[in-house]
Structure 1
Amino acid sequence: MGVMSETISVCCAACGRRHRYTAPSYPCACGAPVAPELDPRGTATEVTHRTWDEEWIGVRCAACGTESRWPRPELGCSCGTVLCVPVDGAATGRSGRAPGSRVPAHRAVPVRTARDAVTAAVLYLRGLGHRDVRRAEQRPMSGIGLAAPGIVVQVDPTVGPASVRDVECLWLTAMAESADCVYFSLAGYAEEARARAGALGVPLFVLDPGGVPRPVNAPAVALDATAG
């Protein structure tokens, strides 16, 4: 039986409109979907500023007991307000297994914002076995830097193709940390950037609107073959 994600009524803190919100589900490393436990008695709050730590919550898998960090549930009201959906901090994540659902859910996360692009990249990295993904201490020249033990990542949500300099800077950062590296871009890569990445062995992925990372060079194809 598949997961029945919880749905609650959410009231906009700014205009009072009510919305029906369904909790998203994500893949645990064991393959079972997990979803945050929503609090129907809680009050949605307006998101006025963002910090990395506050955008993630711990969700425990009921199938294997593993706790992972996933994006905090949010809802966009038609008045323009972004709402933080209340979650039950004392509850564990709901879990279940849908028939044949070994494919990680990161392949079905729509990308509409820069935050969505980061989420899609994080989910993909977890499919590769990198569970402790965090914001990188060193900010890249462009885009958003992520890191996990043994790997540094750049996510470029801009509308222009990544340049050869972007690729080289990521590679140099990885070399300095004795780590592997991966580049995710929404707009693709300049021809020189793709050539240079091939020579340096940097995997390049393009995030399509559905959130699927598409490998665009040989190192990325090889890496994609290891994804769970």
Structure 2
Amino acid sequence: MSESVSVRCPVCRREHLYAAPSYPCECGAPVCLPLDRHGVPTAVTHQVWDEAWVAVACAVCGRKAEWPQPELGCGCGTVLRIAVAGETCPSAQPDGDAPAPPRRSFQPITIRTARDAVTVAALYLRWLGYQDIRRADQRPPSGIGLSARGLLAQVDPTVRPASPRDVECLWLTAMTESARCVYFSLAGYTTEARTSADTLGVPLFVLDLTGTPQPANSLADELEGP
């Protein structure tokens, strides 16, 4: 169960009640981030990828993965980063002989910002089984690059449909790294981009605003984890 903490903005001193979101572990159990009730929130002046994630272990299966760092937007315009206590989900530990639950369906997160789009793509890839999601070493021509062992992904949160060049650049970069690749776009793809993706073998997903990646070609339907 998600817990709630009282948060005071250090800028305007306004009080907020923040409820921690839960995320789907690969085993199907919800992972609730352990909030620090005595921690002091910090104002985020600029987003840094490495600081936007926190490692927390699932209380059911014990898998440790990185999840989005809890943040809250204050009415004064300040983005507050909420402190996390410990590295284990606060849910009760199950009996040692209890079988692990089956993996359930992906749980979406509403997309309101470009960061939300990247978060959804990272969570979806983790749901597929890629646990070491991180920022890609090479920055793509557009959007944000994500990588995992044997996989390179591009997330385009703009309002412009992805072009054939976008798809081809991702494919070429993945080829140089001997990795598979997958493309996530918020605005979809041009007809030419879909044709290029089918020819090159690139799975395409469209990110709808509910936060559910929708397959945009048959390769995406067939995409499996490592």
Compute the TM-score of the two structures, normalised by the length of structure 2: 0.92
Q: 1-side partners of 2:122 and 2:87: how far apart?
A: 23
**Does the 8 A contact of 1:158 with 1:187 survive in 2?**
yes
Q: Amino acid of the residue matched to residue 147 of structure 1?
A: S
SS in 2 for 1:94: coil
Q: Amino acid of the residue matched to residue 211 of structure 1?
A: G
How far apart are 1:50 and its partner, in Å?
Answer: 2.2
SS in 1 for 2:222: helix
**Does the 8 A contact of 1:23 with 1:38 survive in 2?**
yes
Q: 2-side partners of 1:127 and 1:92: how far apart?
A: 19
Q: 1-side partners of 2:59 and 2:222: how far apart?
A: 33
Structure 1 segments of 4 or more deviating over 3 A?
none
Matched, 1:57 2:54: yes
Per-residue CA deviations over 1:62-106 (Å, capped at 9, x if unaligned) read: 112221110100000111110001211x35212369x9982232x
> Which residue of the other structure, out of 86, 95, 103, is the alignment partner of 2:105?
103
Matched, 1:92 2:98: no
Matched, 1:5 2:2: yes
Q: How does 1:132-171 map to 2 (within 5 A)?
A: 132-171=132-171
**Does the 8 A contact of 1:32 with 1:95 survive in 2?**
no
Per-residue CA deviations over 1:3-36 (Å, capped at 9, x if unaligned) read: x100011111111111111001111222211111
How far apart are 1:156 and its partner, in Å?
Answer: 0.1
- Cross-structure match for 1:172: 172
- Single out whichever of 165-174 and 48-57 deviates more from structure 2: 48-57
Q: 1-side partners of 2:163 and 2:87: how far apart?
A: 45
How many residues are aligned here?
218
**Does the 8 A contact of 1:7 with 1:20 survive in 2?**
yes
Q: 2-side partners of 1:73 and 1:127: how far apart?
A: 19
How far apart are 1:216 and its partner, in Å?
Answer: 0.9
Q: 1-side partners of 2:105 and 2:146: how far apart?
A: 23
- 5+ unaligned residues in a row in structure 1: which ranges? none
Q: How does 1:75-90 map to 2 (within 5 A)?
A: 75-88=72-85, 90=86
